[in-house]
Structure 1
Amino acid sequence: MTGFLFEITFWLTVPFWALMVFAPTSPRTHRIVSSPLIAVPPLVVYAVLVAGHLPELWATMSSPDLGTLREFLNTPRGASAVWAQVLAWDLLVGAWMYREGRRLGLHPLLMGPLLVFTIVLSPFGFALFLAVRARCDRPDRATAVVTDE
């Protein structure tokens, strides 16, 4: 069952990524991706994977130790749980990038590859997006957030 949960986790996130990459200007995409509930499917998988192992997980995560974490991740359940957690967070980061890209008016041909890069290597895709965002954002953005002008 763990192998199945590992495999299905990615596919539970694909529809949201597909909307952001292939239908970025659709109002439906914006409405769907604006909800943090898009992370629920991989988080349900995460919950199923760790439900019977909460004491072990708590001990591993509350007192981080490389050896203990390596042991946990070396199990199919541990690796699958971390995979589900990573996919959920990556999806939330990607959705934020999508919304920021729309706010900045970034072209879908720029955002699409950035989002795909984020799917594959999220820290690098996110860092590259932050650089693009810093270059394209209005210099007076902080004032606009406060004054709504």
Structure 2
Amino acid sequence: MTLDGETMGLMFQVLNWAVLPFWLLLLVAPGWTPGPRLISGRIVPALLAACYVFLLFAGAGAAFTEPVPNAGDGLTLDAIMFMFTKPVVALLGWVHYLAFDLFVGAWEARDAKERGVPYWLLAPCLILTFAVGPAGFLAYVLLRKAAGRRSLA
């Protein structure tokens, strides 16, 4: 099965908009216990994972087996760059980011609540995690370490 560009473009738009309410929930209602549990627990990640698996079987898998020009043997930066020239692989990568960044953001919110980290310190980490995932995760991990050493309230 192959997906056409229009279908992949629609999937991209729908998935981008679909995760926004959950990010907003983390930002505006961090104390609402079901929020982070819903997001990182089962439903939202499972739906994104289902989209990921669908894309993998809908054509992205074949892109990983194509010979990569001038890449030599094994996984190289050239091979990754070549694979991401395929729209279905780029979309697959984007769904991966959406799923994992949201999962990490929900973990941050849950963990901050359990540790008593003030919202005003958590919010910038969530925004960073939304925008530049690993940087937000690092910011929260450093904040969490600081919170363990002294009261941040």
TM-score by length of 2: 0.78
Q: Please give the per-residue CA displacement for 1:12-45, whole angstroms capped at 9, x wherever unaligned.
A: 2222211111111123324423514321232222
Query: Could you tell me the percent identity over the aligned residues?
Result: 26
Q: Whole-Å Cα distance in 2 between the matches of residues 26 and 95 of structure 1?
A: 12
Aligned partner of 1:12 among 12, 15, 18: 18
Matched, 1:94 2:100: no
Decide whether the 8 Å contact of 1:21 with 1:112 is kept in 2.
yes
Q: Whole-Å Cα distance in 2 between the matches of residues 43 and 138 of structure 1?
A: 37
Q: CA deviation at 1:93?
A: 1.0
Q: Whole-Å Cα distance in 1 between the matches of residues 120 and 66 of structure 2?
A: 45
Q: Please give the per-residue CA displacement for 1:49-92, whole angstroms capped at 9, x wherever unaligned.
A: 221332433679xx422222211111211111100011111111
Cα distance change of structure 1 residues 59 and 99 upon mapping to structure 2, 3 Å threshold: farther
Q: CA deviation at 1:138?
A: 5.8
Q: Give 1 or 2: higher helix fraction.
A: 1
Q: Please give the per-residue CA displacement for 1:95-138, whole angstroms capped at 9, x wherever unaligned.
A: 11111111111122221221011100111111111111001126
Aligned twin of 2:45? 39
Q: Whole-Å Cα distance in 1 between the matches of residues 14 and 48 of structure 2?
A: 9
Note the residue ranges of structure 2 that are not aligned, 5 or more in a row.
1-6, 68-73
Note the residue ranges of structure 1 that are not aligned, 5 or more in a row.
140-149
Decide whether the 8 Å contact of 1:13 with 1:87 is kept in 2.
yes
Aligned twin of 1:56? 63
Aligned partner of 2:8 among 2, 17, 24: 2
